[in-house]
Amino acid sequence: MLRLCLSGEYKVFANAIYRGKTREESTQVDHIIVSRYGIFVLETKCFKGKIITYPEAPESWLQIVGRRKYRVQNPLMQNYAHVKAVQKVTGVHSQKIHSYAVMAGQASFTYGMPERVYSIWGVIRKIQSYKAPVFTRGHVVSICRALSERRIKGGYWAARRHVEKLKRRGDDGSTTCHEDRPREEHLSPPQQEQQQ
């Protein structure tokens, strides 16, 4: 969708996996968009139900689906590690990298959508609102080359290994658009539910 809606001057990398701090660590970035106007790192979620955000607990949100409540990681906090990975791979200063969360599902926010959280169309408009070039065309080519060369190859199998590493670490992430339910801690009843 992003490739279709953004002109050719925007290069889109989807589901890119990069090495973390150690050989055993990796980070999967939903979307990286490179342009002369900056690098945009997107964490995409497909939540449903109601989302409640708390300023005093910015690291997590509360998702309510029917009578069930789930504590889910704030995707902007999750995206922080992705931005750091992009910084490490490209050598680009953080001021030229923009982090956004994209809500692709049907969730509604009880207190309004937080800052830097957008719908799909909203994030496209936000990206297109950047008009001042911060990179030359040559820099864009170099950044794209670095992102391509340092990307862990393997498609499906690389993604599967990444998920297995997260599970071994005890952090199997949260909802993506390919899942119906959150994988986070189930708050009522108190035991944790095993998600498929």
User: What is the number of domains present in the chain?
Assistant: 1
Task: Count Cβ neighbours within 10 Å for each residue of 85-119 and write b for 16 or more, e otherwise.
Answer: bbbbbbebeeeebbbbbbbbbebeeeeebbeebbe
Per-residue pLDDT of 4-48, as tens digits, reads 889 899 999 999 999 877 777 788 999 999 999 999 999 999 999
Per-residue pLDDT of 133-146, as tens digits, reads 999 999 999 999 99
Residue 126 located in a structural domain:
yes
Residue 180 located in a structural domain:
no
Residue 74 located in a structural domain:
yes
> Does residue 180 register a pLDDT over 90?
no
Residue 19 located in a structural domain:
yes
Q: 29 near 18, Cβ under 8 Å?
A: yes
| For the chain, counts of helices (H) and of strands (E) | 5, 9
Would you state the pLDDT for residue 187? 41
Report d(CA 121, CA 103) in Å as an integer: 10
Q: Which domain holds residue 62?
A: 2-169
Residue 64 located in a structural domain:
yes
Rounded to two decimals, what is the model's pTM? 0.80
Per-residue pLDDT of 43-81, as tens digits, reads 999 999 999 998 877 899 999 999 999 999 999 999 999
Residue 175 located in a structural domain:
no
Residue 187 located in a structural domain:
no
- CA-to-CA dists, residue 189 to 16, 47, 66, 193, angstroms: 36, 21, 14, 9
Q: What is the mean pLDDT of the chain?
A: 83
Greater confidence, 154 or 127?
A: 127
Residue 157 located in a structural domain:
yes
